[in-house]
Structure 1
Amino acid sequence: MKHKQISSLILSLFITSLVHSQKLDVKFGEFSREEIKMSSYEKDTTAKAVVLFDIGKTSFMDTDRGYIIKFTRHKRIKIFDKTASEFAEITIPYYVDGYGKTEIVKNIKAVTFTLENNNLIETKLDHSNIYDEQINERWHQKKFVFPDVQDGSVFEFTYELETPFFFNIPDWTFQDKIPTIYSEYEARMIPFYDYVFIAQGIKKFDYQLSEIAGSDRSYRGIKFKDYVHTYVLKDIPAFKDESYITSVNDYIMKMDFQMSKVKYPTGGTKDIMSTWTALNEALMKHKNFGKYIKSASRYAKKIIEEDLQLGGLNNTLKAQKIIEYVKLHFSWNGSHGKYAHQTVKEFVNKHEGNVAEINLFLIAMLNEAGIEAKPIILSTRSHGKIPIDYPFDHVTNYVIAFVNTSPAFLTDATKDHLPYNMLPVKCLNEKGLIVDEEEDIKWVSLNSQLESLEKINIQHNIDSLTLNTKALVAIQSTNYEAYQNRDFFENDTLKIKNYYDAKIGEINIVKTRAFDKEMHPYAINLKGTYQTEQLINKLIIKPFLNFPLDKNNLTLKERSYPVDFEYIKEKQFSATIKIPKKYKTNSLPENYSIDNDLININLNYANNGETIFVIGNYKFKKSIYVASEYDRIKTYLNTIVNKFNQYVVLEKIE
């Protein structure tokens, strides 16, 4: 699946037909016998389900308050194996702007058809089983589950979404996690708005047609006709490989639409598609961004004078102390975004805020302390990469701080367990834009070159009676590996025990060290019992227990997008196995070593007659590998899984 971007293609009138095939004509609740009896999808016989069709339509509707956009969707899915029940769980997201405008989801219909004893059983969705959930302060969703889904069921749903937001007409995703036989999107445009679109992962549509609608419409006495654009893809493969990527949305086949120009009926036009320079200038003047930093200066100065002792410190130590102060005294409320939603006074009084409030206030504090700091806007990994050719405000959803000390560094004061000069993993997503008073646009790399390590030392002491191992395990992690462990476990010994039970066996003792010292390695020490395999007169032991990677998630024959490991990481292992009395080494695996531009792998076994020593490591030298390196990385992952999970065999002496 190749990413393709159609740069600045204005959806003004053009008439073209790539394939002279007919559009699919379907009606809700009308099924064919073939759909009901279908037992597999011939183009992907491993699929547990298939999208029979997915059809979306967008149009501009007249209301008393002006135009709104109406979006309808009709989707039908065939289930071959009811274990694929996740596809019977439907969510419909909708947006609320917080200022009185909201999208509305309505007219939801859903039905399941199942063939039982050659009789077609219809089960309709009870509307009392449609739930409304809040995802965050801006996004909500309608949610329901199809009733009575069985092997062979066909189910479908349809709904309408009305939106007052013209900037983005509803986007369309052609691809799913299961194969799709037919996907169609129809966009009916009015001549007062021009849009650009990005077609991602699409080389060519199976059917594409743009035409003038037959009937006339009018606005304030001005007659016009809709421009109707239709796009169809057929036999779309499932998007199966979600391993080691930023976001599915970066690579799945889809179309994104964004407004580029307004054409006023009375004459004149207004360009909506901005430039990064203009966006930078607008942010600096925005009351909830650039002006917020200036408003925060008075409060920041008071805190510095009354609560912080910065005298005698260099700028790096001053910055560290200020960042740690903000982390300690202001809590993140879990909300993303780059604009403040409360006043500085409210934020200071509550000691709680969103990402923007915390990091913009931090920037004000750093500046008041004489340290140059500037905001950087970015897009988090789950939000997707920034399309550099499309300078729209909504493509970024987060703000951090650039701190110009020697050396300069990036920081985010919302996250605990991170050193002051490291970003959360979610922010490691290609590029961010420095926002300042200067006109020159400055992009900053967000990808970390910091190497992160997890060291695991294992001592096997074999019990002479049970022949099981009394295992002593010492785990030490640095940088992002330490952050991940601190963040996941929260130093909760019960949580640590439950997690590592699966790696070792029954754990008796858990101890940790340096949890609150983010600049130091985080240490976890465990004592537990590992069940050896006993076969006749042999003991079978995994030197590294279940700590190494045990599955290669890269399974595709080829891949057209990068392998993203987030950051440069290394695993180091060492194990000692004391050979019990009346036992000897039956066999040891072969040593292995490879070191090239992509990876370093070493594995070494030694035996002095009393103790077996095993030392190994694997290090990925890049955080991101390009698509052309996929085959090699896939092979190396297979090597790691196979080599680092080998057994040592001890044989009883007769």
Structure 2
Amino acid sequence: MKIIVVLFSLCFTITTFAQDYKFGKISKKELEEAFNPLDSSANATYLYKYRRTFFEYSEQEGFQLISEIHERIKIYNQEGFSYATNQVSLYKNGNEKEDVSSIKAYTYNLSEGKIEETKLTKQGIFKTEKSKYFNEIKFTMPNIKEGCVIEYKYRIISPFYYNVDEFDFQYGIPIKKLEAKFETPEYFNFKVNTKGFLMVTPKTEQRRDNITFTNKTRTTGNFSNSANTTFSTSKVEFNKSISTYNLTDVPALKEEPYVNNINNYRSSVKYELSYTKFPQSAIKYYSTTWEDVVKTIYEDSRFGDELNKTGYYKEEIDAIIGSISDPMKRMALIFDFVKSRVKWNGYYGKYTSDGVKKAYKEHTGNVAEINLMLTSMLKYAGLSAYPVLVSTRENGVPLFPTREGYNYVIGCVKLSDEYILLDATNKYSVPNVLPYRTLNWQGRVISEKGGSTLVDLYPKEKSKNDIVMMLNLNEGGTIDGGCRITKTKHKALSYRERYNNVDEDDFIEKLENKYNGLEVSEFKVTNDLNLSKPIIESYKFIKESQADIIGDKIYFSPMFFLKTVENPFKLKNREFPVDFGYPSSSTYRIMIKLPDGYKLESIPEKVALALPDNLGSFKYNIIGNDESIQLVVVTEINLPIISSSYYDTLKEYFKQLIEKENEQIVLTKI
């Protein structure tokens, strides 16, 4: 009897905790769950995430890449409602394009103890053209409420069998159960590249499969005009490799400030096509080494051939450089010419789209057209100029040899063993000050013979932000005065991008809102278009409630609205590096005239903090008397990237910096 009870109990336990992931089999337990027991901060959770990617052959289309997607998501609260919208990006190139079919989707809610389902209709599915190269299928699930479960599945059909999307195993919300499969015929050989901090090992197996061909034969009779058509079939058998991934309770990958691209650290697997070997055909290689990758890109007519075209610009370049012999001046003149001549159309790409000649003629082009044109002109002018392959921050870091890893190209000039990096897509960029989107580890310099070498894309020289503020503090806690800010390098580039393209009144309004009610007047910007000089912003201001008045004492931070109030680093542990983008320094010089009738009771002490290995520093130097206070604060970050091994130290450094900037001066009424 005891044995029967134990067995019954065991069966009940298994039944209770077993989960049915068949589409539509939603349980009350899933709908009743109020939070994720392993991550109570999660606004939503993938209850089930499934993807199967495989090759399918048809006699009309040949091999196509098919991906079957099935996802089930629990939404706990309103903050999780964003997961009710799904967007599928579909690549297209010429007449070939990816497409989505068989969309099936439902929202499930509990209503009076019963499961209520709401179907996504065709009217809720939208297809839009996002760009020349991408379409998008977008749908938002109906009847979304707190506590609901949504579920959808669909198929993606792609003619681009050589480009397999990454298998991602980590997202911004937790995953309870993940299954993924990649099936590939023996004709395709893929390299497997993994990244992230989550250990992922597939189960691999080999199976036999076949392709069925239909043959049609037409015959004509000997003594009549009648014809007969007969059909027959034949099969070709092949081996198929299957890799299966099974994961449970995958933690969320949470973002934090100063991450260049969270996808660089997302646990994932990338299948990169190495070569194809079809029956009775020679092996076709795609990418196995960086040499192969560079050779493939350089020999593409949309890259190497475009560099060699010179006739369309010769006369104008000859007139521009004239008798100028200094290489730096030649480089600067050509760089400025391209920036003013051709406007970037917003498209990335290492390959030209319509060609450099058309871009030159029509004054607009993509990244490759502008920067390959620039490189060609620099070479024509006798400079050692080369194209540089880049992966933008948005695209991630190409850790392994891959043609898809690079999505951008810039130019460079080699002078005295130094590479000077140039990007003419941004009209405010200057030599060695690249747009922020390109500051992503290393670029690959390509020589004429197809060889390559790596070059650091991060700048070595600091971008500076110097603030001088002179102000009066009155006995009511209001401050008024003037502020002058000088910016160089990337700080100046960023400012020009924000200021030069907007209405000045809107810009001032955002400045006032940034500092929570600052009243700005006599606003002025100097050198907004003179790229050879630092940009200077100046204005007068008034701001109320900048001191606490308690009895006969006044308390205030001498940095006022400029002080740092929140530590950007909040995670207990961090596995990925801290990416500041570029080295920088900020200097604050603040002169404060104190109100009459008060004396200085206490003032913060001077302090100097230093990060290890000269990574950065903070200096706080203050002097004062009953009439005025002078404060100088200098912060420096000396490297663009700081290893995660310094995270605890960096977090503590910012904690102390914030505490110091928020320390108060105390005045007592005489």
TM-score by length of 2: 0.88
Deviation at 1:506, TM superposition (A): 1.9
Contact 2:609 2:653 in 1 (8 A): no
Q: How many pairs does the alignment contain?
A: 625
Instruction: Please name the residue that 2:268 is paired with.
Output: 254
2:195 match: 200
Query: 1:300 is matched with which residue: 283, 308, 313?
Result: 313
Q: Distance in 2 between matches of 1:151 and 1:535?
A: 46
Aligned match of 1:578: 593
The runs of 5 or more residues in structure 1 that have no matched partner are 1-21
> Structure 1 residues 650, 204: closer, same or farther in 2, change over 3 A?
same
**What letter matches 1:153 in structure 2?**
C
* Alignment counterpart, residue 477 of structure 1, candidates 478, 487, 490: 487
Choose 43-52 or 276-285, whichever is displaced more.
276-285
CA shift, 1:587, in A, is: 3.1
Q: C-alpha deviations, 1:537-564, integer Å up to 9, x for none? A: 3434332233344322322222222111
Deviations 1:561-588 (A, max 9, x none): 2111110011111212211112233432
1:65 is matched with: 61
1:341 is matched by which residue type in structure 2?
S
Equivalent in 303, 328, 339 of residue 327 of structure 1: 339
In the TM superposition, 1:103-252 aligns within 5 A as 103-201=98-196, 204-205=199-200, 208-213=202-207, 216-218=210-212, 221-252=235-266
C-alpha contact 2:321 2:333 (8 A) present in aligned 1: no
Structure 1 position 272 matched with structure 2 position 267: no
What is the rounded CA distance, in whole Å, between the counterparts of 2:454 and 2:312 in structure 1?
A: 30
Taking a change above 3 Å as real, the CA distance of residues 218 and 268 of structure 1, as seen in their structure-2 partners, is farther
Residue 611 of structure 1 corresponds to which residue in structure 2? 628
Find the residue that maps to 2:646 and give its secondary structure.
helix
Tell me, yes or no, if the aligned pair for 1:578 and 1:611 is still in contact at 8 Å. yes
Q: CA deviation at 1:282?
A: 3.5
Does the C-alpha gap of structure 1 residues 95 and 607 become closer, same or farther in structure 2, counting only changes over 3 Å? same
Match of 1:12 in 2: none
1:353 CA drift (Å) = 0.5
1:452 aligns with one of 441, 448, 463: 463
What residue number does 1:336 align with?
348
AA at the equivalent of 1:636: Y
1:527 aligns with 2:536: no
Structure 2 residue 447 is matched with structure 1 residue 436: yes
1:477-534 CA-partner distances (Å, limit 9, x unpaired): 1111111111122274323312221326122231111111212111111212111244
Give the whole-Å Cα distance in 1 for the aligned partners of 2:89 and 2:307.
33
1:142-177 Cα shifts (integer Å, max 9, x gaps): 122223322211112211100111112232111110
> C-alpha distance in 2, partners of 1:111/1:382?
32
Q: Which amino acid aligns with 1:554?
A: F
**CA distance 1:194–1:72, change in 2 (3 Å):** same
SS of residue matched to 1:284: helix
Equivalent-residue separation in structure 2 for 1:450 and 1:200 (angstroms): 31
Q: Greater shift after overlay, 29-38 or 149-158? A: 149-158
| Secondary structure of the structure 2 residue equivalent to 1:152 | coil
1:378 counterpart letter in structure 2: V
- After superposition, the Cα gap between the structure-2 partners of 1:143 and 1:651, relative to the gap in structure 1 and judged at 3 Å, is farther
Q: Larger deviation: 507-516 or 259-268?
A: 259-268
Displacement of 1:115:
2.1
Amino acid at match of 2:640: S
Matches within 5 A, 1:558-569: 558-569=573-584
Where structure 2 has 5 or more consecutive residues not aligned to the other structure, the ranges are 1-16, 214-233
The answer on whether the counterparts of 2:210 and 2:235 sit within 8 Å (CA) in structure 1 is no
CA–CA separation in structure 2 for the residues paired with 1:382 and 1:548: 31
Q: 1:414 Cα shift?
A: 0.8
- Within the alignment, does 1:488 sit opposite 2:488 as a pair? no
> Quick one: higher RCO (CA 8 Å, sep 6+), 1 or 2?
1
Q: Give the drift of 1:309.
A: 4.6
Separation in structure 1 between the aligned mates of residue 187 and residue 55 of structure 2, nearest angstrom: 11
- Residue 360 of structure 1 deviates from its aligned partner by 1.0
CA distance in 2, matches of 1:153, 1:102: 35
**3-state SS of the aligned residue for 2:531?**
coil
Q: 1:270 & 1:468 partners in 2: Cα distance? A: 74
How many angstroms does 1:411 deviate by? 0.5
Q: Distance in 1 between matches of 2:632 and 2:245?
A: 57
After superposition, the Cα gap between the structure-2 partners of 1:130 and 1:201, relative to the gap in structure 1 and judged at 3 Å, is same
Q: Quick check: which has more Rg, 1 or 2?
A: 2
* Deviates most, 132-141 or 233-242: 132-141
The answer as to 2:90 corresponding to 1:83 is no
Instruction: Tell me which of 42, 47, 58 is aligned to 1:52.
Output: 47
Paired residue type of 2:388: I
Q: Residue 553 of structure 1 aligns to which amino acid in structure 2? A: P
Aligned to 2:652: 635
- Mean Cα deviation higher: 483-492 or 325-334: 483-492
More divergent stretch after superposition (616-625 vs 86-95): 86-95
Cα pair 1:503 1:545 within 8 Å, conserved: no
Deviations 1:81-118 (A, max 9, x none): 21222222211111112x21110012222222222443
Percent of aligned pairs with the same residue? Answer: 28
Partner secondary structure for residue 257 of structure 1: strand
Find the residue that maps to 1:84 and give its secondary structure: helix
Matched, 1:93 2:89: yes
Cα distance in structure 2, aligned partners of 1:137 and 1:438: 32
1:579 counterpart letter in structure 2: L
Aligned to 1:5: none
Deviation of 1:415 (Å)? 0.5
Letter in 1 for 2:259: I
Cα distance between partner residues in 1 of 2:449 and 2:208: 51
* Residue 6 (structure 2) aligns with: none
Per-residue CA distance 1:289-309 (angstroms, 9 max, x = gap): 1111212x1122111134x15
After superposition, the Cα gap between the structure-2 partners of 1:575 and 1:159, relative to the gap in structure 1 and judged at 3 Å, is same
Which residue of the partner structure matches residue 19 of structure 1? Answer: none
CA distance in 1, matches of 2:658, 2:121: 48
Larger CA deviation: 500-509 vs 233-242 = 500-509
Give the CA deviation at 1:218: 4.5
Matches of 1:368 and 1:269, distance apart in 2: 38
1:286 aligned residue (277, 294, 300):
300
State how far apart, in whole Å, the 2-side matches of 1:488 and 1:526 are: 17
Q: CA deviation at 1:243?
A: 2.1
What amino acid does structure 2 have at the position aligned with 1:621? Answer: N
Three-state SS of the structure 1 residue aligned to 2:560 is coil
Bigger shift: residues 238-247 or 23-32: 23-32
Instruction: Report the residue type matching 1:326 in the other structure.
Output: V
Q: TM-score, normalised by structure 1?
A: 0.90
Residue 275 of structure 2 contacts residue 287 of structure 2 at CA under 8 Å; is this kept in 1?
A: yes
Give a deviation string over 1:424-482, Cα, whole Å, max 9, x none.
Answer: 12212122112122354322121211101111222221346x54111311111111111
Moved more, 639-648 or 241-250: 639-648
What letter matches 2:598 in structure 1?
Answer: Y
Return structure 1 stretches of 4+ with deviation > 6 angstroms: none
Instruction: Report matched runs for 1:266-415 at 5 Å.
Output: 266=280, 268-295=282-309, 297-306=310-319, 308-387=320-399, 389-390=400-401, 392-406=402-416, 408-415=419-426
How big is the shift at 1:204?
A: 3.4
Q: Is the 8 A contact 1:618 1:640 kept in 2?
A: no
Q: Distance in 2 between matches of 1:155 and 1:180?
A: 14
- Verify the 8 A CA contact 1:496 1:510 in the aligned structure 2: no
Counterpart residue type for residue 265 of structure 2: Y
